[in-house]
Homo-oligomer: A and B are copies of this chain.
Amino acid sequence: MSPTDSPAPQTGSRPGGRSARVRAAVHRAVEELVADDPTDPLTIPVVAARAGVHSTTVYRRWGSVGELLSDVASSRFSGDIVVPDTGSLRGDLERYASDLAKDLCDPDTLALVRATIGIGGEQGAAACRGERQQQLEAVLERERARDGQPPSLERTTDAVLAPLYYRAVFTDEPLTPEWARALVSHLLPS
């Protein structure tokens, strides 16, 4: 991609237009740089050089590295886990937990989460949660539609979502599918 520093409107740009191409190139550059060396502090000039765009374009559109990382994380963690109806709350939650475990095991995903948490503040933290809680709420709502009595969203977050994120981000222990399913067993004793 050739360098460009044309004004990139925040909204109203055509999908597939130059604005979308710049966004895609910058997102890809951030993901690659974070994956390459998570301990190397990310800067906007470095991102811009990797993406083949001018730094001013990146500054104008995202403002700061924190906002840029939050935007990348937000795209990355939204809509990526779709839990099919397995017929039971236990089955749905086991599927959700093992899918999320698999996703968080990915070293590139983990590097992006850590980098975004580090510099993105509250906005970055929210971006790393993405739609995980809404996805969980949808699973609980499905159980209510079955006339079941699921645990609360808070309780399910504490019992399933939190250990997955904690183990991935703060420890070097593996997120095995067996362990992920055991989290559900503790929440829903048979």
Q: Give A residues with C-beta under 8 Å from B.
A: 38-39, 41-43, 64-66, 114-122, 125-126, 128-129, 155, 157-159, 161-163, 165-167, 169-172, 183, 186
Contacts and interface: CB of A to CB of B under 8 A. Distances in A.
A31 to B, nearest CB: 16
- Taking chain A's interface residues, is the majority helix, strand, or loop, or is none over half, making it mixed? helix
Considering residues A43, A115, A163, which has the most beta carbons from chain B within 10 angstroms of its beta carbon?
A: A163
B64 A121 contact: no
5 contacts: A118-B118, A129-B171, A158-B166, A165-B170, A169-B169
Contact of A166 (B116, B118, B121, B161): B161
Considering residues A64, A65, A129, A171, which has the most beta carbons from chain B within 10 angstroms of its beta carbon?
A: A171
A171 B161 CA distance: 12
Q: How many of these chains are in the complex? A: 2
Given A155-B186, A158-B183, A159-B159, A39 B120 contact: yes
A116 B117 CA distance: 9
Contacts of A186: 155, 158-159
B117 A39 contact: no
Contact of A39 (B64, B162, B171): B64
Contacts of A39: 64, 66, 119-121
